[in-house]
Amino acid sequence: MSASQSIHDTAQPEHEEALEGLPPGFGEGLSGKIAFWIAFVFSLFQLFVAAYGTLPSQILRALHVGFLVLLGCVLISNLVMKTKLGKIWYWIVGLAGFATGIYNWIFYTDIIQRTGYLTTADLVTGTVLIVVVFIASRQLMGWPLAIIASLFLAYAAFGEYAPGVFQTRGYDFAQLVENFSFGTEGIYGTPIYVSSSYIFIFVVFAAFLERAGMLNLFNDFALGLVGHLRGGPAQVAVLSSALMGTISGSGVANVVASGQFTIPLMKKFGFRSAFAGGVEATASMGGQIMPPVMGAVAFIMAETLNVPYADIVKAAIIPAMLYFGVVFWMVYLEAGRMGLKGMSKAELPNPWTAVKEQWPLVLPLAALVYLLFAGYTPIFAGTMGLGLVVVLILGTPLAALIGPTAFRVVFWLALGLGCASFLEFGVKALFAVIAALVIVTIPFKGARHTLAIVRDALAQGARNALPVGMACAIVGIVIGTLTLTGIASTFIGAIIQIGHNNLFLSLVLTMLTCLVLGMGIPTIPNYIITSSLAGPALLELGVPLIVSHMFVFYFGIMADLTPPVALACFAAGPIAKSSGLKISLQAIRMAAAGFIVPFMAVFTPSLMLQDGGAMAQMLGYPVEVVYVVAKTVIAIALWGLAVVGYLHMPLRWYERALAFAGGVSLIVALPISDEIGFGITVLVAVLLWLRGRKAAPAAA
């Protein structure tokens, strides 16, 4: 047994963990099989539409929501409900939700032709849609998001009785149903469009890569590269979560996937349970801003701002690296304070051997990156990346059946040329290659299990897309209310009035809004609500739109680590065998220095590779980028020292206070504040150096 295999074996958890409010699996017996095949058909439907785009957008959105409600309610019935009546009830809700999608498909032409006038059947269908979305979302996403959406819906219905500036002109029942259940301003708004078009494809893509063994490659590479450093097991967790973030845009999914290995490993080498869970939760949440496959918010942001997805990726690259740099640094300091060292190099795998042995797994990800930055749409890039993973899964066992190495090389070259032809002939060429592989695979009993891998990955991908999709559906109620009532303008005016005097204060208020909302709702609705309110206001104050939206996005991620509803931390709880609250407190501590990054980006947008300022005009854009990144790294380092209170020795209170003040000075972008920050940095370094020199003879 290899050293890396031994580490993997000793770090395995005792059982599979639940994901986002649902236990694992699809259920037992006939109902479990039905749920599995519903998920399978859901994925096939989405992939077919993504490849051929044969349905109008309104029908696609309606069927997407119908499938989400049906699959979600069937899983609730199978996995959560204990009584027969409860099981039957959720089957009824699921079928009713799916029926609303079918209704929109059948009567699509009639519905769009009678805009402004709804029939009785339309009113019934629209009402049913609102009700079933609330029921399914409440069970899948918890009470907080359902309550927030209910408050917005109530405001739309009864806003005419609200006081002062909050009063609306009033809307009758038919207007509300039309706004929320038909058209593109409510449940079928931009979030559901993005979920049905982009997000689903990338979630399935991640499920396929995980089935193909990408997670093992990430873990082995991380073990070999950073396992020997101070706090090695925790550094492995950070790096493997960062790598996992390149293919999975879900923080909770990252926790459940990579945490199964990293959390037990950290505990084995002496880290406290809550700390191990906090490291994994903090690192995993960074997956949402880690290119190339960022979280669902990135796709919604690209659609909202009407910019290419590649522009969002470009803006996120440096903040993502800084985010994970923060976690690396905090782990390094905490491990030193706790006296924890790295792992023995003798028991660690060679990272480059792992890459050499499993390098084909990197090819689909590399192709995805190329297509995204070459200007192709996310739908095309995601579909092609997914197709390449399927080719890899189906082709590997067939290649193993070919005897001579030369023939195997010819086989892979032929497959590669066939796949490359999609750039010339489109998706049909790639699908033809996949169909040929399926036909060839069927007769070989040993290779037939790969078809089961593909089938299971399709079903699991649909299941993984449930939390994101339902969040996008229920938040449509919020967006519909903001659009219908215009209440957002009141909030925007308040922020602008404050910001005219102090932009920093406006940013702090926006940050607090994100954190407070995030205590009850996931990142997607948090971003959509806050960016709808704060984005235009910050634009009026001179903050570029991408930067302001990334500011909200970043703190939406931080909010998912804050109690009482810190989804990533509660997902880590059963694996770490610690309470979600204790893990959340550790996660906030780990991410504390990361609060610097979005503020720095607002005052110096070149941190997100946006337009440069005065320094760029004088010395050139690259010089400004390097300067801003260096300044941010120093600020992060200082705040880490202030929070943890340790470097190579415990820091005294005044040293921690100086470090905190230096970090703040480097953020605020006031006259000579940078100079003060750099001066404090030198002072802290000299103080620690002098104390280190005095301590050395005593230690000797």
pLDDT at 16: 36
Closest CA to 687 of 644, 639, 650, 643: 650
Q: pLDDT tens digits for 426-469?
A: 667 777 777 777 887 777 766 667 888 888 889 988 998 888 78
Q: What would the mean pLDDT of 88-114 be, rounded to a whole number?
A: 92
pLDDT surpasses 90 at 95: yes
Listed in sequence order, the residues at least 6 apart from 121 whose beta carbon sits closer than 8 Å to its beta carbon are: 103, 107
pLDDT at 17: 37
**Quick check: 663 and 326 in contact, CB under 8 A?**
no
Q: How confident is the model at residue 90 (pLDDT cuts 50, 70, 90)?
A: very high
DSSP 345: G
pLDDT at 699: 53
List, as one string, the DSSP characters of 140-203. Answer: HH-HHHHHHHHHHHHHHHHGGGS-GGG------HHHHHHHHHSTTSSTTSHHHHHIIIIIHHHH
Kindly report whether the global pTM for this prediction surpasses the value 0.85: no
**Residue 118 vs residues 57, 66, 131, 154, 188: alpha-carbon distances, Å:** 20, 20, 18, 21, 17
Residue showing tokens 């009567």: 107
**Quick check: 260 and 285 in contact, CB under 8 A?**
no
Higher pLDDT, 11 or 590: 590
Reading the block at residue 426, the tokens are 């489109």
Residue 650 phi/psi, 5° resolution?
-60, 140
Q: Among 112-121, 290-299, 331-340, where is mean pLDDT lowest?
A: 290-299
For residue 141, the one-letter residue type is M
The whole-angstrom separation of Cα 483 and Cα 99 is 27
User: What are the counts of helices (DSSP H) followed by strands (DSSP E) for the chain?
Assistant: 35, 0
Listed in sequence order, the residues at least 6 apart from 101 whose beta carbon sits closer than 8 Å to its beta carbon are: 62, 63, 64, 65, 66, 67
**Quick check: 192 and 64 in contact, CB under 8 A?**
yes
**Residue 692 vs residues 563, 648, 698: alpha-carbon distances, Å:** 38, 8, 10
- Helix/strand/coil (H/E/C) assignment for every residue in 561-595: CCCCCCHHHHHHHHHHCCCHHHHHHHHHHHHHHHH
**Quick check: 529 and 487 in contact, CB under 8 A?**
no
Higher pLDDT, 20 or 383: 383
DSSP 645: -
DSSP 286: G
- 3-class DSSP state of 25: coil
**Quick check: 476 and 156 in contact, CB under 8 A?**
no
For residue 131, the one-letter residue type is V
For residue 435, the one-letter residue type is A
Count Cα atoms within 13 angstroms, Cβ side, for 581: 1
Highest mean pLDDT among 23-27, 126-130, 392-396, 479-483: 126-130
Q: How confident is the model at residue 105 (pLDDT cuts 50, 70, 90)?
A: very high
The whole-angstrom separation of Cα 508 and Cα 183 is 36
Q: What would the mean pLDDT of 74-97 be, rounded to a whole number?
A: 93
pLDDT at 10: 46
Closest CA to 511 of 522, 500, 495: 495
Q: What angle do CA 391, 397, 403 make, to 5 degrees?
A: 120
Listed in sequence order, the residues at least 6 apart from 584 whose beta carbon sits closer than 8 Å to its beta carbon are: 278, 281, 561, 562, 563, 566, 569, 570
Residue 23, preceding bond cis, omega within 30 degrees? Answer: no
pLDDT surpasses 70 at 204: yes
**Quick check: 241 and 331 in contact, CB under 8 A?**
no
pLDDT surpasses 50 at 13: no
List, as one string, the DSSP characters of 71-137. Answer: HHHHHHHHHT--SHHHHHHHHHHHHHHHHHHHHHHHTHHHHHHTTT---HHHHHHHHHHHHHHHHHH
List, as one string, the DSSP characters of 245-276. Answer: HTT---HHHHHHHHHHHHHHHHHHTT--HHHH
The whole-angstrom separation of Cα 633 and Cα 519 is 28
Q: Among 334-338, 417-421, 518-522, where is mean pLDDT lowest?
A: 518-522
- For CA atoms 572, 578, 582, 585, the dihedral sign is negative
For residue 120, the one-letter residue type is T
Count Cα atoms within 13 angstroms, Cβ side, for 639: 23
pLDDT at 248: 65
Higher pLDDT, 48 or 419: 48
Q: pLDDT tens digits for 135-187?
A: 998 888 777 778 888 988 998 888 888 887 778 887 888 889 988 998 788 89
- 3-class DSSP state of 24: coil
Higher pLDDT, 672 or 414: 672
Closest CA to 197 of 91, 309, 341, 38: 309
Quote the distance between the C-alpha of residue 617 and its chain's center. 36
Q: pLDDT tens digits for 580-632?
A: 778 888 888 888 777 788 888 888 888 888 877 777 777 778 888 888 889 88
Give the count of beta carbons closer than 10 Å to the beta carbon of residue 174: 14
The whole-angstrom separation of Cα 296 and Cα 42 is 19
- 3-class DSSP state of 650: strand
List, as one string, the DSSP characters of 327-377. Answer: HHHHHHHHHHHHT-----GGGSPPHHHHHHHHGGGHHHHHHHHHHHHTT--
**Quick check: 196 and 48 in contact, CB under 8 A?**
no
pLDDT at 498: 67
Mean predicted lDDT score pLDDT of the chain = 81
- 3-class DSSP state of 522: coil
pLDDT at 1: 45
Closest CA to 571 of 579, 214, 138, 143: 579
Reading the block at residue 237, the tokens are 């967790």
The whole-angstrom separation of Cα 43 and Cα 457 is 9
Reading the block at residue 180, the tokens are 């929320």
* Cα radius of gyration rounded to whole Å, the chain: 26
pLDDT surpasses 90 at 385: no
The whole-angstrom separation of Cα 237 and Cα 223 is 9
